[in-house]
Amino acid sequence: MNQTELFDKKTFLQSIIFFLILILLAGGMAVYVISDPEFEQALDMIAVAMEIDKIYPQNINRQDLITAGQEAMFEKLDRYSTYYKKSQFTNLDEEINGSYAGIGVSVVRHPEGLLIMSVRENGPAAEVGLLSGDIITAANSVSFDNLKSNEAINIIKGKDGTKVLLTIKRPVTNETFQVKVTRRQIPFVHIPYAGFTADSVIYIRILDFEAGVSHDLKNALDSLLSIHKNNARGIVLDLRNNPGGFFREAHRCADLFLNRGTFIVGTEGRSRWKNKKYYATGKDITKGLPIAIIVNRGTASSAEILSGSLQKAKRAFLIGDTTFGKGLVQGFFRFPDGDGVKLTISRYYFKGPVFLNDFDSTLNDIGHGLVPDYYYNDDYTNRFRMELENSLILRQFADLHQDEIITATQNDTLDDQWVEKLKKYAQQKQFSFQSLKTLYALEVKYLAQQKKHNKNMTNLAGKIIRLSQKEDNRLFDTNKEYIKTKIMQLAYERKYGSYLTYQKVLTKNSPVIKFASQILLRKKS
């Protein structure tokens, strides 16, 4: 018996023992799976669906019952987790790969309908004055009360050029109103503008964190820093109404501004496999230029990762309003039949550790936004401005006087006569605005008139109405800087597009951009 024969016999015996162990393990696993109570519950659900299908007097599709049960599970989870049909994955692929026909908002579930997380700049919803925090309660007279979020979203979406009538609840002013929005293709332009302000500050507007934004941001910075070499005095990143996107894009963007080894963000999940820490891997490509990040209540998710990581690393300061507060990470899982789920898999945290969502927030949805270092009141709840934008009078006026407005902006701004022109145009279009004070006073006067003996109350209400209406009539003057900037912006957008609008109008006239630049330069000095 030679060495080869001994080796072959030994190998054969080892193989037999290995297969026996596999069979025993498989048998044990089968017993465990069959005895698992969760497996039994799943079988019970299928058994119930089969009994309904077999006995119920009306014909009901068994698969529809099972699908309904699957979707119902997500009612017990956070509002970012949901069941996806195959057709919804197809729509998602189309959105990620190019553009989609919609109204330009990012939404999540809300007990009364759909809560708007952010409004895309220059999109249809932005043009009619919809805001982050608004709740869409109905579309085309279909109430969202008893609809799943996916069903409600499908009603809002539609063919390019078609209109949808939305019922909006605005919690910040306790108003409910309707607005008609024209659907259109929404292109995924991540960075519509990157350039210098008059103060030699780099200003970059970032609209989302979809695939490729970190690459675009690096290219923009490389280009601007190489052109002006050492002349840049700081960087302003504008993340207002940025709904986020891919987690990886956010920490890759943060990596551009940090030196190797600096903590960026960590994730904590139920499984230790979901726990991970991300550190900077290279060098700060800006060589320590001071950074200001403009945020608001529409800054969410991955946009908060970039903002929070740079703030906590003391690499940037935040200007604006408290952010949305979405510190949960979602993953997509697809089944063989094409359906799947979007499921919250972890929550992220910053140096500290600082979490945006409390421990039980996947059930109770308790989210805390990032607090800015410098608060800036953008006056986004100004009812006069919102009603003026909803009326489309600003856009119509800018279209009518487009070339005149552009010619008149030789000194980067308009004189006050344009406010008077707009005021007369609004009167011709029968635009009238009544403040809450006026509306309440009118209501008091009406109630007093119903009690004919209460003349003092009627007279007092009349005086309040007259004073309040005078204040309402002065609103064009008190909002003149906003009006002038807005009609310049609309005229430039119509003729030249977004890039020149930022360059010629917004970087020179936007109060919050100028404020961010001033704080930045003060910090640098």
Q: For the domain that residue 330 is a member of, what is the CATH number? A: 3.90.226.10
- 181 and 248 part of one domain: no
88 band by pLDDT with thresholds 50, 70 and 90: low
Report the DSSP pairing between strands 184-187 and 175-182: unpaired
The helix (H) or strand (E) run that includes residue 173 is none
Strands 113-119 and 184-187: unpaired
Mean pLDDT of 448-453: 69
pLDDT the model gives residue 409: 86
Element (H, E) at 317: strand 316-320
Q: Is residue 87 part of a domain?
A: no
More confident residue, 148 or 485: 485
Q: For residue 323, is it within any domain?
A: yes
**Are both 270 and 122 inside the same structural domain?**
no
**110 located within any domain:** yes
Same domain, 343 and 441: no
Same domain, 135 and 279: no
How do residues 513-523 score in pLDDT, each as one tens digit?
A: 999 999 998 87
- pLDDT value of position 106: 84
| CA–CA distance, 87 with 338 (Å, rounded to integer) | 8
User: Is residue 399 in some structural domain?
Assistant: yes
Q: Mind listing the pLDDT tens digit for each residue in 41-68?
A: 667 777 777 777 778 877 777 777 777 7
344 with 415, same domain?
Answer: no
Distance from C-alpha of 404 to C-alpha of 388, rounded to nearest angstrom = 21
Contact 131, 296 (CB under 8 A): no
How confident is residue 379, by pLDDT bands cut at 50, 70 and 90? confident
Asked, for residue 32, whether it belongs to a domain, the answer is no
Among the ranges 35-39, 88-92, 352-356, which has the highest mean pLDDT value?
352-356
Clarify whether residues 512 and 400 are in a common domain: yes
Question: 375: which 2 tokens?
Answer: 């608060």
User: Could you give the CA distance from residue 387 to residue 390 in angstroms, rounded to a whole number?
Assistant: 5
176-195 pLDDT, tens per residue?
999 999 998 877 789 999 99
Distance CA 135, CA 139 (A): 11
User: What is the total count of domains within the chain?
Assistant: 3
Is residue 18 pLDDT above 80, yes or no? no
The position carrying tokens 């949305």 is 324
The residue from 187, 212, 232 where one domain ends is 187
Phi and psi torsions of 454, nearest 5°: -90, 65
Contact between 83 and 339 under an 8 Å Cβ cutoff? The reply is yes
Domain boundary among 352, 379, 406: 379
What tens digit of pLDDT does each residue of 207-251 get? 999 889 999 999 999 999 987 666 889 999 999 999 998 999 999
Decide: 171 and 133 in contact? Cβ < 8 Å. Answer: yes
Same domain, 502 and 421: yes
Percent of the chain with pLDDT over 90: 38
Q: Specify if 438 maps to a domain.
A: yes
Helices (H), 273-382: 302-312, 361-364
Residues 6+ apart with CB under 8 A from 291: 234, 235, 236, 237, 257, 310, 315, 316, 317, 520
Q: Check pLDDT > 60 for residue 96.
A: no
- pLDDT computed for residue 78 by the predictor: 79
- In angstroms, the first-to-last Cα distance of the chain is 89
What are the φ/ψ torsions at residue 518 (nearest 5 degrees)?
-65, -45
* Rg, the chain, Cα only: 29
Residues 137 and 212 occupy one common structural domain? no
Mean pLDDT for 159-177 is 88
Domain end residue (candidates: 137, 161, 187):
187
Separation of alpha carbons 325 and 78, rounded Å: 14
Q: Are residues 133 and 226 in the same domain?
A: no
Give the count of beta carbons closer than 10 Å to the beta carbon of residue 185.
Answer: 11
Helix (H) or strand (E) holding 522: helix 511-524
- pLDDT number for residue 261: 96
Distance CA 358, CA 78 (A): 12
More confident residue, 66 or 325: 325
Task: Write the CA distances from 204 to 175, 194, 240, 244, integer angstroms.
Answer: 34, 4, 11, 16
Residue 4, pLDDT above cutoff 50? no
Does one domain contain both 374 and 427? no
Whether residue 107 is contained in a domain is answered as: yes
In a domain? residue 34: no
Q: Maximum distance among all alpha carbons in the chain?
A: 125
Confidence at residue 3, expressed as pLDDT on a 0 to 100 scale:
41
pTM of the model: 0.77
Q: CATH code at 153?
A: 2.30.42.10
Query: What span, in angstroms and rounded, lies between the C-alpha atoms of 499 and 480?
Result: 24
| Residue 317 and residue 247 share a domain | yes
Cα–Cα distance, 520 to 512 (Å, whole number):
12
d(CA 448, CA 456): 9
Domain that holds residue 158: 99-187
The whole-angstrom separation of Cα 320 and Cα 515 is: 10
Token match 């991300």: residue?
A: 278
The reply to whether 370 and 237 lie within a common domain is: yes
In terms of Cα–Cα distance, which of 299, 251, 256, 253 is closest to 277? 251
